[in-house]
């Protein structure tokens, strides 16, 4: 079984066009015509990395490593410098890639339960709609649980997405206990012999203790109904977010064991470079990126092609 | 809000504070740290660079007067620059006194426009405006429904056209509707859009063109990173917005993007939005934010407020007593009375430099002040000036006289002891840190 057949590199690349052009143009400007790396060049590279939200610390580490590697290189040309940085960047991202493929896991666990969490406005509900569509397209039976019982019209929004994707939706009235929605969803999924359960949650800022506790409860309830659930806990990060994403991930991981990241809104000029540090600290891979509002605008994330796309001229 | 940034800056400044002279060397150390602080707080790379250069030039060009310490000097320069960067003065919403006021909200997806629209509607309704909310987000599923539900919560009418796919027309029609129904304020909520989406950017500038808003506000998530400058600039180029709204500031400690955006588009930040409750909206005070960022407390406001309320001579006397370490219960009582005139205890303490982070998690109930007052009033004058006299039987009498339990009296006396210790540190020029306020619990 092959999931996400519709994925192609072209789409990922086009989603990252602006990002790529900007980075590449800058990098090219920086390194063209220079035989060796000097302080000014390094500073310019630092600017490019930091301006991509990669963060000071991570940027410095990457530059240091590239510098080290460059010392033993004979070829100190432009191409080689870019190659070294690219290599370093993609190693950071691929370090925590899953060893077992998702399709294998989905075959093993039925239903396969995915919990989607994140701060307000990150794009959780839209992502769920897209995920449901992708799984459905792959021939799987999907049930969505609407555990955002707080935000006005969250139910209605998810209804429309479930309808577009053509999947089952479980919901309760506004203000209902979110964990009871999660409970019902998994039970209905079991009864319907569903393959995939997607649980949407309300946006919550990681500083709100009571809401974070609620998340723990949802997680616990899922685990009660199915002792292996949730299979995945995906943290949705807005691609526009800066260094705060690091704290978000740290806080959310205290309440639910993160298994992956989804980066949204990467079709603008934001680069989402903070993922380098989030992945390193949380030891999780990036699973998907959102590159538009269309239902098919969710792409599986591949660290190599991501970095490749960033630097491709 | 912004505590993290504040704490980090404080730490960086500490390295300079207390050093004898301001040399190029120790400036550069501090500046390097401040640069890291700002970058970590998502202030744009270029803006940070400019900021550091400005501070450096000002710091090196200035003579260190004998009356100030180097730490104070550089703090002041940084404070001034930060304030300058964020706009110098606060700026309020423009409302047409006569004729309709139209407010247009624009921004990226998920920045919080819809929630903020409802908050602003409530804010203006409370100011006796007759408000209409217009739902122009025809793209996001159930966005119209969301606004309708929020409108219901705050009892503000919501205008929408079912099934319409023409946001410009909805905006136009809502103005007519407002006029016909005697509503003088229209808040238009638009769809979130990426600044690189030409079609949608055309749409939002068409809306602006048609409705000619009194105020166009750019709503931005305070967690935004380096790209904030690009999106803000693109929106500004297309719709020439009048002000900025910073959302989700309750969640987080950083707000560097505010500095960046402000620097790039030179438009004031008009509101900050601090939570999901529909009344959590505040007017933005750049100068206060600058002081808070510096961890120097809201010195300016504290001084202003105090000047209004304090009798200057009384303050002089108090200062003398403080210096001589003679602060007693009588002074404490006077202080409480003055404090009560000035506002809530916690808000006052928050303005005191260095205390902000310590009271962050301390609950101070103003009602407790009444209790404290009653206990002190039940003491004799001799007891007030010499707390050491307060033995068991005296305490029992005071408890009875003031209608409090003996435990409460004991606690106050213990706390007062802590406070005297604190005062000692203030008055002694040792520059020691103030003890943890958590021990000084008024509850």
CATH code at position A109 = 3.40.50.300
Determine the residue of chain B that is closest to A50 in CA distance.
Answer: B45
Inside any domain, residue A146: yes
Phi, psi at residue B388, to the nearest 5°? -65, -25
Average pLDDT value for chain B: 79
Asked if residue B40 has pLDDT above 50, the reply is yes
**A197 and A272, same domain (yes or no):** yes
Asked if residue B441 has pLDDT above 60, the reply is no
**A244 and A146, same domain (yes or no):** yes
Residue B214 in contact with partner chain A when CB distance is under 8 A: no
Inside any domain, residue A281: yes
Candidate from B148, B223, B276 with C-beta closest to A244: B223
Q: Which of A94, A122, A156 is the last residue of a domain?
A: A94
Phi, psi at residue B21, to the nearest 5°? -130, 155
**A151 and A86, same domain (yes or no):** no
Parallel, antiparallel, or unpaired for β A112-117 and A196-201?
Answer: parallel
pLDDT digits (tens, 9 = 90+) for B248-257: 987 655 678 8
Asked if residue B363 has pLDDT above 70, the reply is no
Asked if residue B109 has pLDDT above 50, the reply is yes
**Cα–Cα distances in Å, from A240 out to A165, B194, B262, B362?**
26, 11, 17, 34
CB contact under 8 A, A241 and B36: no
Asked if residue A117 has pLDDT above 50, the reply is yes
**A88 and A118, same domain (yes or no):** no
Report residue B429's pLDDT band, with 50, 70 and 90 as the boundaries: very low
Inside any domain, residue A140: yes
Asked if residue A5 has pLDDT above 60, the reply is no
Tell me the sheet residues that pair with B271: B245, B283
**Cα–Cα distances in Å, from B177 out to A236, B96, B119, B180?**
40, 18, 21, 5
Residue A14 in contact with partner chain B when CB distance is under 8 A: no
Radius of gyration of chain B from its Cα atoms, rounded to whole angstroms: 26
Q: Which of A78, A94, A110 is the last residue of a domain?
A: A94
Report residue A7's pLDDT band, with 50, 70 and 90 as the boundaries: very low
**A83 and A106, same domain (yes or no):** no
Residue B237 in contact with partner chain A when CB distance is under 8 A: no
Total number of domains in chain A: 2
- pLDDT at position A9 is 40
Lowest mean pLDDT across B139-143, B240-244, B316-320: B316-320
Residue B325 Ramachandran class (φ > 0 left, ψ -120 to 50 alpha, else beta): left
Which chain B positions have a beta carbon within 8 Å of A268's beta carbon?
108, 194-196, 227, 231
What percentage of chain B reaches a pLDDT higher than 70? 69
* Average pLDDT estimate for A25-49: 65
Q: Does ipTM come in above 0.95?
A: no
Residue B92 in contact with partner chain A when CB distance is under 8 A: no
Report residue B432's pLDDT band, with 50, 70 and 90 as the boundaries: very low
Which chain A positions have a beta carbon within 8 Å of B252's beta carbon?
205, 207, 244, 247
Inside any domain, residue A300: yes
What's the rounded Cα separation, in Å, for the pair A215 and A147?
10
**A62 and A118, same domain (yes or no):** no
* Average pLDDT estimate for B59-71: 59
**A114 and A241, same domain (yes or no):** yes
Asked if residue B307 has pLDDT above 50, the reply is no
Residue B143 in contact with partner chain A when CB distance is under 8 A: yes
How many residue contacts between A and B have a Cβ separation below 8 Å? 138
Residue A305 belongs to what domain range?
102-311
Determine the residue of chain A that is closest to B254 in CA distance.
Answer: A244
Determine the residue of chain B that is closest to A55 in CA distance.
Answer: B40
Asked if residue B232 has pLDDT above 70, the reply is yes
CB contact under 8 A, A247 and B252: yes
**A83 and A115, same domain (yes or no):** no
Report residue B1's pLDDT band, with 50, 70 and 90 as the boundaries: very low
Inside any domain, residue A38: yes
pLDDT digits (tens, 9 = 90+) for B68-79: 556 566 666 777
Asked if residue A109 has pLDDT above 80, the reply is yes
CB contact under 8 A, A242 and B225: yes
What's the rounded Cα separation, in Å, for the pair A199 and A147?
6
CB contact under 8 A, A274 and B225: yes
Cβ(A279)–Cβ(A272) under 8 Å?
no
Domains of chain B, with CATH numbers?
3-85 (1.20.120.140), 101-296 (3.40.50.300), 304-439 (1.10.260.30)
Residue A120 in contact with partner chain B when CB distance is under 8 A: yes
Candidate from B141, B143, B257 with C-beta closest to A242: B257
Asked if residue B391 has pLDDT above 80, the reply is yes
CB contact under 8 A, B221 and A18: no
Q: Which of A94, A120, A152 is the last residue of a domain?
A: A94
In DSSP notation, B389-421 reads: G--HHHHHHHHHHHT--HHHHHHHHHHHHHHHH
**A79 and A179, same domain (yes or no):** no
**A138 and A265, same domain (yes or no):** yes
**A166 and A39, same domain (yes or no):** no
Inside any domain, residue A3: no
What's the rounded Cα separation, in Å, for the pair B271 and B82?
18
Beta-carbon count within 10 A of A105 CB: 13
Inside any domain, residue A4: no
Query: Cis omega (within 30 of 0) on the bond before A259?
Result: no
Asked if residue B208 has pLDDT above 80, the reply is yes
Residue B41 in contact with partner chain A when CB distance is under 8 A: yes
Q: How far is B264 from chain A (nearest CA, A)?
A: 15
- pLDDT at position A174 is 92
Candidate from B36, B153, B224 with C-beta closest to A242: B224
Inside any domain, residue A301: yes
- pLDDT at position A38 is 67
Q: How far is B109 from chain A (nearest CA, A)?
A: 7
Task: Give the pair of three-digit tokens for residue A145.
Answer: 């649980």
**Which CATH number characterizes residue A58's domain?**
1.20.120.140
Cβ(A59)–Cβ(A46) under 8 Å?
yes
**A74 and A112, same domain (yes or no):** no
In DSSP notation, A187-215 reads: HHHHHTT-SEEEEEE----TT-HHHHHHH
**Cα–Cα distances in Å, from B315 out to B107, B175, B303, B348?**
49, 56, 12, 16
Structure-model confidence comparison of residues B260 and B119, the more confident one? B119
Q: How far is A137 from chain B (nearest CA, A)?
A: 21
């Amino acid at each position: 079984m092959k999931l996400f057949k519709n994925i192609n590199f072209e789409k990922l690349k086009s989603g990252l066009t602006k990002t790529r052009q900007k980075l590449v143009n800058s990098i090219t400007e920086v390194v063209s015509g220079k035989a060796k790396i000097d302080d000014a060049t390094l500073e310019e590279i630092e600017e490019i990395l930091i301006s991509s939200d990669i963060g000071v610390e991570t940027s410095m580490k990457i530059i240091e490593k590239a510098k080290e590697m460059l010392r033993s290189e004979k070829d100190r040309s432009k191409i080689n410098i870019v190659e070294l940085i690219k290599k370093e960047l993609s190693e950071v991202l691929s370090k925590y890639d899953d060893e077992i493929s998702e399709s294998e896991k989905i075959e093993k666990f039925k239903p396969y339960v995915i919990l989607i969490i994140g701060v307000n406005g990150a794009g959780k509900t839209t992502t769920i709609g897209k995920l449901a569509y992708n799984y459905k397209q792959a021939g799987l039976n999907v049930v969505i649980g609407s555990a955002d019982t707080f935000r006005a019209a969250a139910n209605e929004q998810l209804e429309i997405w479930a309808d577009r994707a053509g999947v089952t939706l479980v919901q309760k009235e506004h203000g209902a206990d979110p964990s009871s929605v999660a409970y019902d969803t998994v039970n209905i999924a079991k009864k319907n012999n569903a393959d995939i359960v997607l649980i949407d949650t309300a946006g919550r800022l990681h500083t709100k203790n009571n809401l974070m506790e609620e998340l723990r409860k949802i997680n616990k309830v899922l685990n009660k109904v199915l002792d292996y659930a949730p299979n995945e806990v995906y943290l949705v990060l807005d691609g526009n977010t800066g260094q705060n994403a690091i704290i978000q991930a740290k806080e959310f991981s205290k309440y639910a064991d993160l298994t992956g990241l989804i980066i949204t809104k990467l079709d603008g000029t934001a680069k989402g470079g903070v993922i380098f540090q989030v992945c390193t600290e949380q030891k999780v891979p990036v699973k998907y990126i959102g590159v538009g509002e269309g239902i098919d605008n969710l792409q599986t994330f591949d660290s190599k092609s991501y970095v490749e796309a960033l630097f491709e001229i | 809000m912004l505590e993290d940034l504040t704490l980090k800056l404080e730490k960086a400044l500490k390295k300079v504070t207390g050093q004898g002279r301001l040399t190029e060397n120790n400036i550069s150390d501090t500046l390097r740290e401040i640069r890291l602080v700002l970058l970590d707080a998502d202030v744009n790379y270029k803006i940070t660079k400019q900021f550091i250069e400005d501070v450096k030039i000002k710091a090196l060009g200035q003579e260190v007067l004998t009356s100030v310490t180097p730490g104070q000097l550089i703090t002041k320069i940084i404070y001034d620059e930060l304030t300058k960067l964020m706009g110098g003065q606060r700026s309020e919403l423009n409302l047409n006194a006569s004729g309709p006021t139209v407010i247009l909200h624009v921004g990226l997806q998920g920045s919080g426009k819809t929630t903020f629209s409802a908050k602003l509607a409530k804010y203006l309704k409370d100011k006796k405006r007759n408000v209409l909310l217009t739902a122009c987000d025809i793209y996001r599923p159930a966005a119209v429904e969301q606004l309708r539900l929020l409108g219901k919560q705050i009892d503000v009418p919501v205008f929408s056209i079912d099934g319409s796919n023409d946001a410009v027309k909805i905006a136009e029609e809502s103005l007519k509707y407002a006029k016909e129904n005697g509503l003088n304020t229209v808040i238009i909520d638009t769809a979130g859009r990426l600044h690189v989406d030409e079609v949608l950017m055309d749409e939002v500038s068409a809306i602006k063109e048609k409705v000619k808003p009194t105020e166009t506000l750019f709503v931005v998530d305070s967690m935004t990173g380096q790209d904030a400058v690009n999106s803000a600039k693109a929106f500004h180029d297309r719709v020439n917005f009048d002000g900025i709204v910073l959302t989700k500031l309750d969640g987080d400690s950083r707000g560097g993007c505010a500095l960046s955006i402000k620097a790039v588009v030179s438009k004031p930040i008009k509101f900050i939005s601090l939570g999901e409750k529909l009344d959590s909206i505040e007017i933005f005070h750049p100068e206060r934010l600058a002081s808070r960022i510096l961890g120097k407390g809201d010195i300016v406001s504290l001084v202003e407020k105090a000047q209004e309320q304090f009798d200057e001579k009384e303050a002089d006397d108090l200062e003398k007593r403080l210096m001589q370490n003679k602060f007693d219960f009588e002074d404490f009582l006077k202080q409480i009375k003055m404090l009560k005139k000035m506002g809530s205890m916690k808000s006052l303490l928050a303005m005191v430099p260095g205390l902000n982070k310590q009271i962050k998690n301390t609950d101070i109930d103003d009602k407790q002040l009444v209790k404290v007052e009653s206990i002190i009033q039940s003491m004799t004058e001799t007891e007030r000036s010499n707390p050491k006299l307060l033995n068991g039987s005296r305490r029992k009498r005071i408890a009875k006289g003031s209608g409090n339990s003996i435990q409460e009296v004991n606690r106050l006396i213990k706390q007062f002891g802590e406070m005297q210790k604190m005062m000692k540190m203030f008055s002694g020029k040792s520059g020691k840190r103030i003890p943890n306020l958590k021990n000084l619990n008024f509850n």
